[in-house]
Amino acid sequence: MTDSISKGSAARIVDEIDRARAQEYALLATLLTRSPDAQLLSRIAGLRGDASAIGMAHIALADAARRTDQERAAREFFALFAGLGDVALLPYASHYLAETLYGRPLVRVRETLDGLGIEKIAERTEPEDHAGFLCEIMAGLASGGIAAPDGADRDFFERHLSPWIKRFFIDLERAKSADFYASVGALGHTFIDIEAEAFAPPA
């Protein structure tokens, strides 16, 4: 979905935790970019969890996937992200931070992407401050798929996700037209809390 071109940055070491983080971001990126097809819903329905906050969010998402199907998920996605009026959500940093579209937050994202050597492919029509696009970049940074120096994922998170994306996930979780996607919102805000705590400086 993106073209990443290294500008001489050394790839960092990726451990099991980073791979797990990348998988969470990749799942969120996919679900925020398009409605899930039957195959993806089946895979999500097989998620397992535990008593941790993220484990419980996985269990809830799996349950939601078993309650829906491809057609219902597609209608829900359209209502949430392409509908009209107060029902639709605007998953953009510019909307949450500047109360506009194509605002300064988008400019800042583009500047950071340019520094990382990343270009959006022509087929992608959404601006780069879209929540799904930002999660996709975080997946690439966490997995090492985007060559970047140590700490690039922390820097990207703190600059472009931390100021607003939890509020978006909470809005998604509480949206009147959300059913399956309410669980996506719950997973997103739970995971962002974990990321923020992990990136926080030591007390």
Give pLDDT tens digits along the chain (203 positions): 454 333 434 456 779 999 999 999 999 999 999 999 999 999 999 999 999 999 999 999 999 999 999 999 999 999 999 876 666 899 999 999 999 999 999 999 999 999 999 998 888 889 999 999 999 999 999 999 999 999 999 999 999 999 999 999 999 999 999 999 999 999 999 999 999 999 998 76
Spatial separation of the C-alpha atoms in residues 53 and 34, rounded to whole Å: 25
Q: Which residues contact 122 (CB under 8 A, 6 or more apart)?
A: none
Whole-prediction pTM: 0.92
CB-based contacts of 123, cutoff 8 Å, min separation 6: none
| CA atoms of 100 and 78, how far apart (whole Å) | 21
